[in-house]
Amino acid sequence: MKDPSKKSMSMIRSFVLADFITLANAGFGMAAIFLCLHHVTGSASTRLWAVFILLPLALVCDVLDGFVAHRLKRTSLLGADLDSLADIVSFGVAPAVLGFALGLQGMWDALILIYFVACGISRLARFNVTAEALSGGTGKVKYYEGTPIPTSIVIVIILGIAFWQGRIDHLLPFGAYRVGPWIFHPFTLLYAASGSAMISTFRIPKP
């Protein structure tokens, strides 16, 4: 009779080094989300600065996993899906939660942040489904269709600059307005633009 514990560990044993780096990407993203939640509850507001370190570290892992897989010529069947799921956490959900934690808490803001995350999920799903066709049978995709979801790190950098300068309360230089029954921060339009760019059909050469 087979040991059930060995069967349950078979997936972990199938991982290659690149997969563990991908999981580190997701880990940094989740840590950033937890810090944002602590900030909202007021229990650890002084630690929010760490988010602006964790998300760039997630980006480093996102780049490094592909480099390691290519250099070592070792990939797993789960690698591509792991990468997409990790990216959703670190470059979709985490930037949206960060924006909310820093004051984008109006109902219009929330709807736009949800749209942003939905666009990120849709973009990655499209890439996973069409990657084989885009590679032309070579196994290497020559271009991205729509901007890659890690480009959301630009929003994180902008928020980070405002945070370090102590200007978050003016979030950002555009203020807040009541539009109909709900509050709206024009800064969320940057999230909307980022999300729309992800699901566009604009082709970007892949390095």
Report CA-CA distances (Å) from 97 to 4, 29, 164, 174, 201.
Answer: 38, 11, 18, 20, 27
Mean pLDDT of 175-192: 87
d(CA 90, CA 154): 13
pLDDT given at position 167: 62
CATH code for the domain of 181: 1.20.120
Locate 175 and state its tokens: 């203020």
Mean pLDDT of 43-58: 85
pLDDT given at position 10: 72
Report CA-CA distances (Å) from 129 to 174, 180, 185, 197.
Answer: 39, 40, 35, 19
Mean pLDDT of 173-184: 79
Residue 103 domain-assigned (yes or no): yes
Q: Give residue for tokens 């604009």.
A: 202
Mean pLDDT of 126-133: 75
Residue 2 domain-assigned (yes or no): no
pLDDT given at position 132: 62
Instruction: For the chain, give the mean pLDDT.
Output: 84
Residue 3 domain-assigned (yes or no): no
